[in-house]
Amino acid sequence: MRIEVEKLEETGGKFSQVYAPGELLFEEIELVEAAAITGRARRKNGDVELRGELLTKASTICGRCLKPVELQIDVKFAERFVPAVSWRHEEQHELQEEDLNISVFDGEGIELDDLVKEEILLAIPAHVLCSEDCKGLCPSCGVDRNSETCDCEAKQIDSRWDKLKNLGV
Ligand SMILES: [Zn+2]
Ligand SMILES: [Zn+2]
């Protein structure tokens, strides 16, 4: 969905859109529920401000044990779109409201899909864990230490050669 700047006055700037899972594709994550965005766009001089809320549920993997982890996403966003032409005159942007992120657009329309994808990625922490005390995978044999035990630590493998053997190199 594209928000046409020229039409903002007619619609009052309100927008809402629902994206089914699979409609938005990511490399790192997957949506397990529809993503619903609602908000309002306002023109400010040449810029356009988009504010609203985004709701969805995403699936990513635990950084320690690689199991899927579902994350509820409910974020409020505030983004200012600056036309690419005026962006070059940096001095126009010296005072920015701190709660706004800045993006550049072509001056005519804003791709809501891109904004939604960006906001979803921003909402996902860099290090996701299935639980705070996830034990992770054994670095030697690869078992999930949350559900299985191995005797690698007891064996005290400390020679490089043995480590390579266990990795199957
Ligand atoms: Zn985990
Ligand atoms: Zn092990």
- Separation of CA 141 and ligand 2 centre (Å): 4
Gap between the Cα atoms of 29 and 68, Å rounded: 10
Is pTM beyond 0.85? Reply is no
- Separation of CA 164 and ligand 1 centre (Å): 24
Q: Which residues surround ligand 2, an ion (CB under 5 A)?
A: 138, 140-141, 150, 152
pLDDT, residue 35, reads: 97
Strand pairing partners for 111?
A: 2
- Separation of CA 125 and ligand 1 centre (Å): 14
Instruction: State phi, psi for 80 to the nearest 5 degrees.
Output: -105, 125
CB 62 within 8 A of CB 134: yes
- Per-residue pLDDT, averaged over 51-64, amounts to 96
- pLDDT tens digits for range 7-29: 888 878 999 999 999 899 998 89
Gap between the Cα atoms of 69 and 12, Å rounded: 39
Indicate the pLDDT class of residue 89, thresholds 50, 70 and 90. low
